[in-house]
Amino acid sequence: MLADKSANLAFSLYNKMAKEKGAENILISPVVVASSLGMVALGGKSSTASQVKKVLGADNLKDEHLHAGLSELLSDVSDTKTRNTTWKINNRLYGSSSVLFADDFVKNSKKHYNYDHSKINI
């Protein structure tokens, strides 16, 4: 279900961009779009999480089911045993050295989305 909804969202974004950009090359990954929105929901407050779930068509899912489902989707597309391709996704979240990432956010973003966190001087 989540994979289909993610694909529909990406196709919708693609169609919108294609109308605006014309003949330019456009590449949109449904998995990257969905997992990026999942990260926003993970780090956002309840209002933001609700908006993200609505965009993903997952309004009725509990937060933990959303993140577990997106985590499974990321694992499935990256599994070289079931696919005839190798797809490596490397995610990193950068924040100012003055920003404190909440421990729960760091733990869950690594667990579900394989995100690393880095501090940089801005």
The secondary structure element, H or E, covering residue 38 is: helix 30-43
pLDDT given for residue 38 in this prediction:
94
User: What does DSSP assign to residue 22?
Assistant: T
3-state SS record for 49-110: HHHHHHHCCCCCCCHHHHHHHHHHHHHHHHCCCCCCCCCCCCEEEEEECCCCCCHHHHHHHH
Taking alpha carbons only, the member of 61, 60, 75, 78 closest to residue 112 is 75
**Full-model pTM:** 0.83
Assigned superfamily of 2-120 = Antithrombin, subunit I, domain 2 (3.30.497.10)
- Could you tell me which residues come within 8 angstroms of residue 87 by beta carbon, excluding any fewer than 6 positions away? 77, 78
Burial class (CB in 10 A: 0-12, 13-18, 19+), 28: middle
Secondary structure (3-state) at 115: strand
For the cut 80, the answer to whether the pLDDT of residue 23 exceeds it is no
For the cut 80, the answer to whether the pLDDT of residue 14 exceeds it is yes
First to last CA, the chain: 40
Mean pLDDT over 2-17 rounds to 90
Taking alpha carbons only, the member of 31, 54, 30, 29 closest to residue 44 is 54
pLDDT band for position 78 (cuts 50, 70, 90): confident
